[in-house]
A and B are shown apart, each in its own frame.
Chain A
Amino acid sequence: MKEHEFYVGMEGREVFWNIPLPAFEILLFALTAVAMAIFGYGVYRRWQMWKAMGKPEMRLDNMGERVKAVILEGLLQVKTWRDLYPGIMHGLIFFGFFVLIFGAAFDAGQHHVTEPLFGWTFLKGNFYLGFSFLLDLFGLFVLVGVIMALDRRFVTKPDRLGYKGKMDTTPDDVIVLLLIGAIIVTGFIVEALRIHVTNPPWEYWSFVGWLLAKTFTGVELDTARTLHLASWWVHAILALGFIAYIPYSRLLHMITTPANHFLQSHKPTGYIEPIRDFENAEAFGVGKLEEFTWKQIFDSDACTRCGRCQDGCPAYLTGKPLSPKKLVQDIKTFWLEKAPAAVKAAKAGEVPTEEEGGKALVGEVVDLHELWACTNCMYCMEHCSSSIEHVPKIIDMRRYKVLTEADFAPELQLTCRNMENNSNPWGVGAHLRGDWAKEMGVKTLAEDPNVEYLFYVGCSGSFDDRGKKISVAFAKILQEAGVSFGILGNEEGCCGDSAMRAGNEYLFQALAQANIDTMNGYGVKKIIAICPHGFNAMKKDYPNFGGNYEVYHHTEIIAKLIADGKIKLPEALKGRFVYHDSCFLGRYNKIYDAPRQILKAIRGIEVVEMERTLDKSFCCGAGGARMWMEEDIGDRINNTRTKQAMDVKADTIAVGCPFCLTMMADGIKDNQMTESMQTWDLAELVVKAMGKEEIKPPVDTCAV
């Protein structure tokens, strides 16, 4: 074999330097074919498993958006960057490997395609030098990434890589990291030995190999050639092994995760597909694995166990058994157990038979305490870097418990009965709904339907003593600003959000339909809600049943009225305020600014943020029908949230949701902070700042 002659303009290298051709090339091709076959078989088998179970579901609309998601969330890793350290860690490995694969492709492309066919070599000159530098740099990135990952697995051990303090590291996790590390290290060794032997003057561009070559100083050239050949083969076999290993390991996420980004829902955040046929179904919701859609099952195969979901799950962080990660992983394990039989049955053209004594999905695979601990806060879905949709699965399983089995918490049964009989969760007489407005001069649509906005008050604003004060405050603001509005009074009904999120879709649809019929009857176009739950339901779920409205939350309206100068806030308030983001405003509807603009407009106050804020806000504990349920495992979520406000020394928690208000008020009481802390809805604060708060004259005996 001839050695290179080195002079300027000859920068480059022989692609298969030191590799006896063509015998080894054939061997390499053969091994590549084997690796690809193993890879192909694995993916094929998995494909069959994905197909074998679950109901059909179409996820091929909005193609442009889907491709965009793959580019942004797959290629550019947008969701993983949101957590800095793990984002960098994954980015180093991902982008490093990405560049290295291009490197290998360039090598192979020149050697097998452009040179033999067209006599064109491009790995030379300045391009080669830049190429060498980049490859070494990104190879180094991968190594750093692997070391960071090993550090997380074995040294820092963040809680999210486990469950309740116990790491869930599997041998596969370690094998994958070591395999990646070994591919890079052997790659550098191969390069270093080549540089040691050929010693071209420009190879300091391959800076890692060049530095490593220095350690081989003194090694006989023949020995170095032998070592090079050996390590070249080790490198090649590891790289091919990596390819073959992909479908049998966590590396599969290289396929499933981008696929899941592609397949993600394009419905509004938190949208829940309604049950569309009650009359002809035998069972409702999901009680068996195969009652999920294939996509819901596929989700579990896209899970990388990164634990981002668990990091902010209010149920998990207050000691409940629920972890979104564990839930998804448990579904995956169950699917892996059941899928092979389903594949076999599908091949034989049979319906898979129910195995006797098999585990139940709801109750065994997913414990009922897990199922009912979810507050639907949407943290898991917002932060999942694989676009997994946890909450709809939970609601589907709740539907099974509530609708099919009617087996659920007694207190929630009572709530449902109350909604059925009096159209509110408390069961207060429905005829009292409009009473709060009686002395305010607020007209109902029955009295005057020619108004711009319907103020949908909701159950809290109508029946809860604390909630009624929000209604009064907001109505006062609208009146002061001269906004044209009316209420439905006793014709209003419960929005049904709690029923729907409890899994009682039947009740939800009845409640929603009643409201829609009333609203459509009055030709309602624009709605303002003071409760984010009704706001969200009317905005996203009511259109399914013929209710199409422009829906606003009162903080949006108030912020606009302030910005437009329609209301003035001359009074200064005092204190250190913190705003607690309601999940159904924030993560569900991306309303983060309006509430903060309102606080900013109030004179005299200091505004701080809690550590968990905006899209990482911590739920108050009342969403997902948890408002109506006992919370008897672990710490109370509302108390934990209140403590987070105490941590930043806030004396006032401002909220934009009556459920949050109840929860924060209880949290303040339970933390024995009533002397020094308060919680108010933003509407109430605005009324104070407007100087419009009624001050009752002190009297000795005051009639109520």
Chain B
Amino acid sequence: MRESPRLCDAQEKEVLTVNIIACVKQVPDTEAQIKVKADGSGIEEGQIKWVMNPYDEYGVEEALKLKEKNGGEVTVVSVGPARAMETIRTALAMGADKGVHICDPVFDGADAFVVANALAAVIKTLPHDIILCGQRAIDDDAGQVGSMLAEALGLPQLTLVTKLEYTGSTVKVIRPIEGAQLSVETVLPCVVTAQKGLNEPRYASLPGIMKAKKKPVDVKDAAALGIATDAKAKVAKTIPPPARPPGKIICGDEPAQKAAELGRLLREEAKAI
């Protein structure tokens, strides 16, 4: 990559410890049964088991690794309703030091733009060298917050990262591209979005879980951030996917006959060939 003047400057002053922000989102468990509300305004939340977005978990894990290797502090930031506190505590149990919970009913229908701005408003007030986000959340699969956050903060962004190396003044990452790998380096501070393969998130230890209960979490509402909360994009309607038609097993003794039947069904019924 082209070396920018900023990169040279940064290399001169070695950063010893590193301030890391990990952004997390609480999402429904992948196995949870999703039921769409009758009016199509969203999903029924009653029976859902909520978990930390798996891509954000990679981010938290990488943040903890960086801290363990270099020293520093990990702050978890999340935008979400009251229940999102569980997810912040999960990250604290894994080893993060403190949390910021941006919690306000006005964020209920927030889009990526609003969320990114909310995160940026908080992060601006915190010392930050590396900001880690999941590459996308598994609920809406939008994949926009990380990039928008970098823009809002005016920082370089490294997306879909599977390997991260912190040199003290820069971050070198690997990003898989079709059939190859791209190696990218940038100065601090920067935003990195985590992809599967970056690490294996740790299982929280029990002393960690117990300590997490006492770690500080700063709860902020929209007024405290002083940002616009009008979403640029709105969900018009939530529609469940069509029910999957039942599968078919072709019975019979003769393989050739079964193959012919399969071909017929694929052509005539499924119209796949």
Residues of chain A at the chain B interface (Cβ within 8 Å) = 278-279, 282-284, 402-406, 408, 410, 413, 416-417, 421-422, 427-432, 506, 698-704
Q: A429 to B31, Cβ gap below 8 A? A: yes
Residues of chain B at the chain A interface (Cβ within 8 Å) = 29, 31-33, 47, 49, 51, 200, 202-210, 246-252, 261, 265
Q: B249 to A403, Cβ gap below 8 A? A: no
Q: Which of A282, A410, A701, A702 has the most CB of B within 10 A?
A: A701
Nearest CB in chain A to that of B35: its residue? A431
Q: B206 to A278, Cβ gap below 8 A? A: yes
Q: B205 to A421, Cβ gap below 8 A? A: no
Known: A421-B49, A701-B248. A406 touches B29 (CB 8 A): no
The complex places the Cα of A699 from the Cα of B32 at a distance, in Å, of 35
Distance in angstroms from A402 CB to nearest chain B CB is: 8
Q: B203 to A417, Cβ gap below 8 A? A: yes
Q: B249 to A702, Cβ gap below 8 A? A: yes
Distance in angstroms from A287 CB to nearest chain B CB is: 12
The complex places the Cα of A408 from the Cα of B205 at a distance, in Å, of 11
Q: B203 to A406, Cβ gap below 8 A? A: yes
Q: B210 to A278, Cβ gap below 8 A? A: yes
A-B contact sample (5 more), CB < 8 A, given A278-B210, A403-B206, A700-B251:
A284-B207, A406-B203, A413-B203, A429-B29, A429-B31
Q: What residues on B are CB-neighbors of A703 within 8 Å?
A: 246-248
The complex places the Cα of A417 from the Cα of B29 at a distance, in Å, of 11
The complex places the Cα of A430 from the Cα of B32 at a distance, in Å, of 7
Q: A701 to B249, Cβ gap below 8 A? A: yes
* Cβ-neighbour of A701 out of B32, B47, B203, B251 (below 8 A): B251
The complex places the Cα of A422 from the Cα of B249 at a distance, in Å, of 30
The complex places the Cα of A404 from the Cα of B248 at a distance, in Å, of 50
Q: B29 to A704, Cβ gap below 8 A? A: no
Q: What residues on A are CB-neighbors of B210 within 8 Å?
A: 278-279
Q: A421 to B206, Cβ gap below 8 A? A: no
Known: A702-B251, A704-B249. A406 touches B33 (CB 8 A): no
Q: A406 to B49, Cβ gap below 8 A? A: no
Nearest CB in chain A to that of B93: its residue? A406
**Which applies to chain B's interface (DSSP): helix, strand, loop or mixed?**
loop
Nearest CB in chain B to that of A698: its residue? B251
* Cβ-neighbour of B207 out of A404, A408, A422, A702 (below 8 A): A404
Q: B31 to A704, Cβ gap below 8 A? A: no
Known: A279-B210, A701-B250. A422 touches B205 (CB 8 A): no
Q: B252 to A403, Cβ gap below 8 A? A: no
Q: What 5 A-B pairs have minimum CB-CB distances, sorted nearest first?
A: A406-B205, A429-B31, A403-B206, A431-B33, A413-B203
Q: B49 to A422, Cβ gap below 8 A? A: yes
The complex places the Cα of A557 from the Cα of B259 at a distance, in Å, of 47
Q: What residues on B are CB-neighbors of A282 within 8 Å?
A: 207
Q: B249 to A421, Cβ gap below 8 A? A: no
A-B contact pairs, 6 of them (CB 8 A): A278-B210, A406-B208, A429-B29, A429-B33, A699-B251, A700-B252
Nearest CB in chain B to that of A432: its residue? B33
* Cβ-neighbour of A406 out of B51, B204, B246, B250 (below 8 A): B204
Q: B247 to A704, Cβ gap below 8 A? A: yes
Q: A421 to B51, Cβ gap below 8 A? A: yes
Q: B251 to A506, Cβ gap below 8 A? A: no
Q: B261 to A701, Cβ gap below 8 A? A: yes
The complex places the Cα of A283 from the Cα of B250 at a distance, in Å, of 58
Known: A410-B200, A431-B33, A431-B47. A405 touches B248 (CB 8 A): no
The complex places the Cα of A431 from the Cα of B35 at a distance, in Å, of 12
The complex places the Cα of A37 from the Cα of B73 at a distance, in Å, of 63
Distance in angstroms from B199 CB to nearest chain A CB is: 11
Q: What residues on A are CB-neighbors of B209 within 8 Å?
A: 506
Q: B204 to A421, Cβ gap below 8 A? A: no
Q: A403 to B205, Cβ gap below 8 A? A: yes
Known: A422-B49, A702-B251. A284 touches B29 (CB 8 A): no
Nearest CB in chain B to that of A416: its residue? B203
The complex places the Cα of A700 from the Cα of B248 at a distance, in Å, of 10
Distance in angstroms from B203 CB to nearest chain A CB is: 4
Distance in angstroms from B93 CB to nearest chain A CB is: 9
The complex places the Cα of A284 from the Cα of B251 at a distance, in Å, of 56
The complex places the Cα of A410 from the Cα of B206 at a distance, in Å, of 17
Q: A506 to B29, Cβ gap below 8 A? A: no
The complex places the Cα of A282 from the Cα of B211 at a distance, in Å, of 10
Q: What residues on B are CB-neighbors of A699 within 8 Å?
A: 251
Q: What residues on A are CB-neighbors of B265 within 8 Å?
A: 701
Q: What residues on B are CB-neighbors of A430 within 8 Å?
A: 31, 49
Q: What residues on A are CB-neighbors of B246 within 8 Å?
A: 703-704
Distance in angstroms from B82 CB to nearest chain A CB is: 20
Q: What residues on A are CB-neighbors of B51 within 8 Å?
A: 421
The complex places the Cα of A219 from the Cα of B217 at a distance, in Å, of 99
Distance in angstroms from A628 CB to nearest chain B CB is: 14
Q: B31 to A427, Cβ gap below 8 A? A: yes
* Cβ-neighbour of B31 out of A405, A421, A701 (below 8 A): A421
Q: What residues on B are CB-neighbors of A432 within 8 Å?
A: 33
Distance in angstroms from B257 CB to nearest chain A CB is: 9
Nearest CB in chain A to that of B265: its residue? A701
Distance in angstroms from B252 CB to nearest chain A CB is: 6
Nearest CB in chain B to that of A418: its residue? B31
Q: B248 to A704, Cβ gap below 8 A? A: yes
Distance in angstroms from B269 CB to nearest chain A CB is: 10
Q: What residues on B are CB-neighbors of A702 within 8 Å?
A: 248-249, 251
Q: B206 to A404, Cβ gap below 8 A? A: yes
Q: What residues on B are CB-neighbors of A698 within 8 Å?
A: 251
Distance in angstroms from A281 CB to nearest chain B CB is: 8
Q: A422 to B31, Cβ gap below 8 A? A: yes
Nearest CB in chain B to that of A703: its residue? B246
Distance in angstroms from B230 CB to nearest chain A CB is: 35
Q: B261 to A283, Cβ gap below 8 A? A: no
Q: What residues on B are CB-neighbors of A279 within 8 Å?
A: 210
The complex places the Cα of A278 from the Cα of B29 at a distance, in Å, of 27
Q: What residues on A are CB-neighbors of B203 within 8 Å?
A: 402, 406, 408, 413, 416-417
The complex places the Cα of A405 from the Cα of B207 at a distance, in Å, of 9
The complex places the Cα of A429 from the Cα of B30 at a distance, in Å, of 8
The complex places the Cα of A279 from the Cα of B33 at a distance, in Å, of 33
Q: What residues on A are CB-neighbors of B208 within 8 Å?
A: 406
The complex places the Cα of A278 from the Cα of B202 at a distance, in Å, of 20
The complex places the Cα of A427 from the Cα of B32 at a distance, in Å, of 10
Q: B29 to A422, Cβ gap below 8 A? A: yes
Q: B207 to A421, Cβ gap below 8 A? A: no
